[in-house]
Structure 1
Amino acid sequence: MSSDVVKKIAQLVRAGAALTPYTCPACGTVLVRLKTGELYCANCERTVVLVRSDEEAQQALEVVQLREVRRIVFDKIIQLGKEIEKLSAPEMVDHLRSLSLLLDIYERLAKIHGEAGREKKT
């Protein structure tokens, strides 16, 4: 383990993360549990989900993919929101329709994400 990774882990622990007995399946670095409860690899700089079965792996993958789609939709909502003030009325109507559709999609994704999280806990 490089000294940079050790420094990152130390910074995370000082910020409230906890060392775990688990290691990253990709690189073997010890994982830390963040305050959010997520497991994190300081070497790969990503969260890690531990699973016991192929079914749990599929559920975890779905949650991660939905989260990414939700992030993309959110970014587009912000982008459209910033563009609206510069538009003429007819252009604004088109943007508002798009914004309304994106907000509906975002809301549905949030609902699905919440349901997936509840299923995971049971």
Structure 2
Amino acid sequence: MTEPSMKEMAEMLRKGAKMLSMHCPECGTPLFQLKNGEIFCPHEKREVKIVKDGEDSEKAKREASLDRTLQSKLQLLQERLDVSTDPTEIRELTQTITVLLDALNRQKA
């Protein structure tokens, strides 16, 4: 486990998150439950969906994949927005970011 991951875990505990007995299936880091109920992996810096017996694990995997893709695209657009000076490009980027954020929120609901 890396030092930044340890610092992130300590910060999450200070902010009131609970460390769970479950581990991230991707990296093995302990999972945390945030105050809003979200299960989070501090190493992967993303929400983790817990699939209970009888639930569709393939559906959960697709949703997790979509979530990662949307997050990745948002990050790329944000980086482009940071360096852009063209008003037209800025408008297009912010509109696209808004659409992706809406999609991400709908996917999580």
**1:57 matched residue in structure 2:** 61
Question: Where does the alignment leave 5 or more consecutive residues of structure 2 unmatched?
Answer: 52-56
The alpha-carbon deviation at position 50 of structure 1 amounts to 2.9
Which has the greater radius of gyration?
Answer: 1
* Residue 101 of structure 2 is aligned to residue 110 of structure 1: yes
- Whole-angstrom distance in 1 between the partners of 2:25 and 2:74: 26
Summarize the Cα distance change of 1:11–1:108 in structure 2 as closer, same or farther, 3 Å threshold: closer
**1:21 matched residue in structure 2:** 21
**Conserved 8 A contact 1:16-1:34:** yes
Question: Where does the alignment leave 5 or more consecutive residues of structure 1 unmatched?
Answer: 85-94
Moved over 3 A (4+): 4-12, 26-29
Q: How many residues align?
A: 102
**Conserved 8 A contact 1:73-1:106:** yes
Summarize the Cα distance change of 1:12–1:106 in structure 2 as closer, same or farther, 3 Å threshold: closer
**Conserved 8 A contact 1:33-1:40:** no
Give the root-mean-square deviation of aligned CA atoms: 3.0
Aligned-pair identity in percent equals 20
**Conserved 8 A contact 2:29-2:41:** no
**Conserved 8 A contact 2:31-2:39:** no
